[in-house]
Amino acid sequence: MFNRLSVRLSLAFLLSAWIGIAAMVLVVQRTFDAGFRQYVISRESEINPEQVSRLEAYYAANGTWAGAESLLSGRGSAGGAGNGAGNGAGGGETGRGATFSILGLDHTILVSTDPALESTTVDAALLASAYPLTVDDVQVGWLYRASPGIQALGAAEVAFLNEANRWLTFAGLGATALALLVGVILAYSLARPLRELTTAARDLSIGQMGRQVNVRGTVEVNALAAEFNIMSQALADAEALRQRMAADVAHELRTPVSVLRGHLEAMLDGVYPLDSAHIAVAHDQTIHLARLVEDLRVLTLAEAKRLPLERTRIDPAALVNQLLEAFEPLMIDGEVRLIRNISPGLPVFYGDGTRIRQVISNLLTNALRHTSTGGEIAVSVQRENDSLCFSVANTGSHLSDSEAARVFQPFWRAHAARERDSGGSGLGLAISREIVALHGGSMTVESGENRVTFAFTLPIGAFKSDLRER
């Protein structure tokens, strides 16, 4: 239970609140208690001007301080000397606060509210707070107040402090309950998206690909949820591609295997004669199977970035012209016009000549297959900044946006039946794009009203260092 994030967050909020509340209550109690005691001391120990006047009048009348104890009090009385007895009682009460004494000019305590201090001497440095007593402008003594270290409080004052401490305790308990409630709510809201992510991840582990979670919470949780959704969708797409590719591979292999098996069984059963014509049919199917398996191997290695490349210096114009000379008879037979647009002075680039020929051959074969009689195929090689741009365009065909988005998928065909009958495996464009990517380039397709253009770019001199490695 305590390993749950929500529980730990709630306890963390509660502990933080307890520490803060305890510190606050302690500081408030100490400050309030000390301040209240100081207030009581100040109130009880104020030197009353009336008291000073009475003392000076007493000395003027008697010429001595003997018997002046009754006039010493922390609180002045509105009465006169006749109230001395009452003030004496008051003076006894002030013993819980400051001690009042009358000092002679030699700093000796003559009379005091604390008889134990009489006849003792007060240090001259302490007389800064003493009040001089004068008669006819002649100083006759000092009125000295000594504050105690600890203020003894009365019952009413103690009750006041206890009541204040009790309300501080209630406030601390209320703040604790509020902190716990807020902590539980915040912890639940923080942990809820993580629980949803955990459930979604568990669904992924049992094969439910593509599961999406709501993106909500803090910035970090939102980023985690968004990345999870991207990963989940990518896994779903990869699984769909794997299933479709497995089905396509099985379908592509089934046809030549069925034809090969049928011919062999017919020859074994004597239905077909065992002659070169029927053996040639079986041989063609084995060649088709070998080509399909090799295309699958190349595509798998290319997608895994493990297809070996033998990079050398390549003249792009010479490479394309050689291929066009090989394809030109086919174009003449199909009554297709060839348009060449090869810029002069093209720089050499570094790449695998065999694989680049394979890419251009795939594009030319694909263009021938989709160009009707009387159409045209335009081949272009141009330099664009630090890259070479190759393009093969043909008339007589069109790709919709959805078809253009899927054209590089393995085994995808715009017209599946016609493509399969004509011998295409549906892997050529996928292999071509991966080969171009291995060379550091990219391949795109654009479709117009009656024209489809495949183009790819290759960097110039981007792989010179690889020649030394090989």
Q: Which residue has the tokens 């991840």?
A: 201
Q: Which of 49-58, 202-211, 225-234, 439-448 has the lowest mean pLDDT?
A: 202-211
Q: Does the pLDDT of residue 188 top 80, yes or no?
A: no
The CATH code belonging to domain 311-469 is 3.30.565.10
- What percentage of the chain has pLDDT greater than the value 70? 80
Tokens found for residue 193: 């998206």
In whole angstroms, what is the distance from residue 415 CA to residue 404 CA? 13
CA–CA distance from 21 to each of 75, 182, 228 (Å)?
39, 15, 40
In whole angstroms, what is the distance from residue 145 CA to residue 133 CA? 13
The answer to whether the CB of 194 falls within 8 A of the CB of 223 is: no
Main-chain phi, psi angles of 149, to 5 degrees: -70, -35
Q: What is the DSSP letter of 74?
A: S
The answer to whether the CB of 124 falls within 8 A of the CB of 75 is: no
Q: What is the DSSP letter of 121?
A: B
Which run of H or E residues covers position 267? helix 219-269
In whole angstroms, what is the distance from residue 211 CA to residue 443 CA? 31
Measured over the CA atoms of residue 291, residue 295, residue 298 and residue 304, the dihedral's sign is: negative
Q: Does the pLDDT of residue 56 top 60, yes or no?
A: yes
Within 10 angstroms of residue 354's Cβ, the number of other Cβ atoms is 11
In whole angstroms, what is the distance from residue 321 CA to residue 330 CA? 15
Sheet holding 442-447, edge to edge: 337-342, 376-384, 387-395, 451-459, 442-447
Residue type, 46: E
Main-chain phi, psi angles of 412, to 5 degrees: -80, 135
Q: How does residue 461 score in pLDDT terms, banded at 50, 70 and 90? A: low
451-456-457 Cα angle (round to 5) = 140
pLDDT at residue 468 in the model: 41
Is domain 237-303 classified as CATH 1.10.287.130? yes
The answer to whether the CB of 161 falls within 8 A of the CB of 153 is: yes
Within 10 angstroms of residue 166's Cβ, the number of other Cβ atoms is 10
Measured over the CA atoms of residue 315, residue 321, residue 326 and residue 327, the dihedral's sign is: positive
Q: Does the pLDDT of residue 63 top 60, yes or no?
A: yes
Q: How does residue 155 score in pLDDT terms, banded at 50, 70 and 90? A: low
pLDDT at residue 36 in the model: 65
pLDDT at residue 147 in the model: 63
Q: Does the pLDDT of residue 344 top 80, yes or no?
A: yes
What mean pLDDT comes out for the span 92-118?
Answer: 75
The answer to whether the CB of 69 falls within 8 A of the CB of 109 is: no
**Tell me: the pLDDT tens digits for 231-270?**
888 888 878 877 877 777 787 788 788 888 888 888 888 8
Q: Which of 20-29, 61-70, 387-396, 460-469 has the lowest mean pLDDT?
A: 460-469
Ranges 283-292, 313-322, 392-401, most confident: 313-322
In whole angstroms, what is the distance from residue 438 CA to residue 356 CA? 11
- What percentage of the chain has pLDDT greater than the value 90? 20
Q: Does the pLDDT of residue 356 top 60, yes or no?
A: yes
Rg of the chain over Cα atoms, rounded to whole angstroms, equals 52
Average pLDDT score, the chain: 78
Q: Which of 161-170, 306-315, 387-396 has the lowest mean pLDDT?
A: 161-170
Max intra-chain CA distance, the chain: 162
What mean pLDDT comes out for the span 364-391?
Answer: 92
Number of H helices, E strands in the chain: 12, 11
Tokens found for residue 406: 């899927």
In whole angstroms, what is the distance from residue 407 CA to residue 194 CA? 39
Query: Strands 337-342 and 376-384, how do they pair?
Result: parallel
Tokens found for residue 199: 């459930």
In whole angstroms, what is the distance from residue 47 CA to residue 417 CA? 117
What mean pLDDT comes out for the span 107-113?
Answer: 87
Query: Strands 349-352 and 442-447, how do they pair?
Result: unpaired
pLDDT at residue 335 in the model: 92
The DSSP bridge partners found for residue 337 are 376
In whole angstroms, what is the distance from residue 291 CA to residue 296 CA? 9
Q: How does residue 98 score in pLDDT terms, banded at 50, 70 and 90? A: low
In whole angstroms, what is the distance from residue 309 CA to residue 438 CA? 8
Burial zone of 27 (CB within 10 Å; 0-12 exposed, 13-18 middle, 19+ buried): exposed
Q: Helices (DSSP H) in 304-447: which residue ranges?
A: 316-333, 353-370, 401-406, 416-421, 428-438
In whole angstroms, what is the distance from residue 260 CA to residue 251 CA? 15
The answer to whether the CB of 127 falls within 8 A of the CB of 142 is: yes
The set of residues, in sequence order, having a beta carbon less than 8 Å from that of 13 and lying 6+ positions away, is 179, 180, 182, 183, 186, 187
